Amino acid sequence: MEGFAIPLCILSLSIFSILITSNGVDTIATTKSLADGETIVSSGGIFELGFFSPGNSTNRYVGIWYKKILPIMTVVWVANRETPLFDKAGVLKLTSPGILVLVNGTNDIIWSTNTSRTAQDPVAQLLDSGNMVVRNSDDEMKAESLLWQSFDYPGDTLLPGMKLGKNLKTGHEWYFSSWKSDDDPAQGVFTLVLNTHGYPQIFIRNGTNDLYCTGPWNGLWLSGIPDTATVPEISYYFNTEEVFYTRELTNTSVVTRSVLTHEGYITLSVWVDQTRSWLAMGSAPKAGCDMYASCGSYGICIINNSPVCECLDKFLPKYPKDWDRFDWSRGCVRKTPLGCHEGGEDGFVKYSRVKLPDTQNSWFDTRMSLEECRRTCLENCSCMAYANLDIREGGTGCLLWFDDLIDFKELMGGSGQDIYLRMASSESGVNVAGKDLLSFDLGTSIGADNTMMTEASGVSAMVVVLLGFVLAIVVEELFWRLT
């Protein structure tokens, strides 16, 4: 790619440039700026930071790319993504309080970092993780002592060690956003976010529209992606200060990256040295059952069915004519209305092997037993379903859904989980005392027990894609109410 060649003639444009050598230096100091054409390289030679032009553009950006991955220059982060330079006169400087500043040829500020603290002797350093950090040169390399880090302001690329989530104390969100195009790194329409309304779930959004939802973490995997259970480097952290997914770097000799493309897909690829190219491992969402709420409320998406949408058992299409025309958006309704509002009795019916529905309108508690969870749900006429929050150790905690249930998907291979839906007692087979739940296994009842390899592979791709997220759940609070 053009822009990677170092135009030596530019070096003389900056009085600071002479002080820097592009080999072996991983820092920018207040006395050593970086001009267009110069680079710094992380100490292990993994990443390089400098000026570049993306695709066919001639605009100049400051970015970070893999040092060793050539000839394909693979940019993982861009500083001035919204404010390009139009010539090669840009200079990246570090000012004395600890702020990185990109100026153009007339010394106007094009882009800058910020910090709530100041440093006596700041230094900006490119780490082997791909993280550019600003810190006091005396300070240890600890997250708390950093004045600024690029990992807090991700672009379209998820690298190991980055977070996807939210700092609940400061409100800072770690989210990813697509480029506009291969030629323009400005923020495009797609974002990958952790939605913290109700119990947290990962979404891909198109503007403000939800395109894809992974479902909530259940202690072992993301509810919609059972394969996340087998990706050991995925970790999920949830405590009073932060909630986030991250991927730990386990093997530095395997270079993988995940990108939210400008077409709205999250992709995972691995670098193959022999062919010197990125090998696509998978992408999501897939056609079929991945699109958010594709079967409407109380509809379920079954990838091997044709058509893919069905109403859940004991439900009927709300608008049969639309439904028959494959317009499933308005979903399904109960055959028998709930008794609750008319002073009647309700019970619950168990559905198994499903991706849990959207939890944006949910409430949760990490301590309750399933029986307490059931009673809590039964007492409130707006509670439509309950399930265990964490399926480990036979199941713990309680997740309650209010409002209509949307975005059900059948999972194959017995890997889905159980959810109990509120039903009129005549349908649930429950007696007045609320015992004897009629248990109902979705997989067998709809005869969808055949092999589902297509979907399974899609799912596994997504998993990794989701990049190997989370492992350990650290839920500290008893009562967590994020809404």
Ligand X SMILES: *[C@@H]1O[C@H](CO)[C@@H](O)[C@H](O)[C@H]1NC(C)=O
| Residues at the interface with ligand X (CB under 6 A) | 55-56, 86, 89, 104-106, 108, 114, 116, 182-183, 189, 206-207, 211, 251, 253-254, 264, 363, 380, 382, 402
Q: What's the DSSP call for residue 316?
A: E
Q: Is 179 or 440 the residue whose CB approaches ligand X more closely?
A: 179
State residue 11 phi and psi, 5-degree precision. Answer: -55, -40
Q: Is 136 or 305 the residue whose CB approaches ligand X more closely?
A: 136
Amino acid in the structure at residue 326: F
- Return the number of other C-beta atoms located less than 10 Å from residue 43's C-beta: 14
Least Å distance, CB 362 to ligand X, is: 9
Peptide bond into 216 cis (omega under 30): no
Least Å distance, CB 63 to ligand X, is: 16
Q: Is 255 or 452 the residue whose CB approaches ligand X more closely?
A: 255
Bridge partner residues of 134 (DSSP) = 124, 148
Closest CA to 399 of 421, 423, 414: 421
Least Å distance, CB 379 to ligand X, is: 7
Displacement of CA 288 from its chain's centroid (Å)? 20
Least Å distance, CB 465 to ligand X, is: 16
- Return the number of other C-beta atoms located less than 10 Å from residue 64's C-beta: 27
Peptide bond into 285 cis (omega under 30): yes
CA–CA–CA angle 344, 350, 354 (5° rounding): 135
For 137-148, b/e burial (b = at least 16 CB within 10 A) is eeeeeeeeebbb
Peptide bond into 71 cis (omega under 30): yes
Helix (H, G, I), strand (E, B) or coil at 74: coil
Q: Is 58 or 137 the residue whose CB approaches ligand X more closely?
A: 58
Q: Is 2 or 327 the residue whose CB approaches ligand X more closely?
A: 2
Q: Is 104 or 352 the residue whose CB approaches ligand X more closely?
A: 104
Tokens at 412, concatenated: 């194959």
Q: Is 96 or 114 the residue whose CB approaches ligand X more closely?
A: 114
Q: Is 193 or 411 the residue whose CB approaches ligand X more closely?
A: 193
Least Å distance, CB 386 to ligand X, is: 12
Q: Is 348 or 440 the residue whose CB approaches ligand X more closely?
A: 348
Pairing of strands 346-355, 438-440: parallel
Q: Are 43 and 19 in contact (CB under 8 A)?
A: no
Bridge partner residues of 117 (DSSP) = none
Count the residues in the chain.
483
Least Å distance, CB 33 to ligand X, is: 16
Helix (H, G, I), strand (E, B) or coil at 195: strand
Least Å distance, CB 282 to ligand X, is: 18
Q: Is 14 or 104 the residue whose CB approaches ligand X more closely?
A: 104
Least Å distance, CB 335 to ligand X, is: 24
Q: Is 106 or 275 the residue whose CB approaches ligand X more closely?
A: 106
Separation CA 161–CA 233 (nearest Å): 10
CA–CA–CA angle 303, 304, 310 (5° rounding): 65
Q: What's the DSSP call for residue 217?
A: B
Q: 279, exposed or middle or buried, with CB in 10 Å at 0-12, 13-18, 19+?
A: exposed
Q: Is 175 or 363 the residue whose CB approaches ligand X more closely?
A: 363
Q: Are 137 and 121 in contact (CB under 8 A)?
A: yes
Separation CA 348–CA 411 (nearest Å): 21
Sign of CA dihedral 65, 70, 74, 79: positive
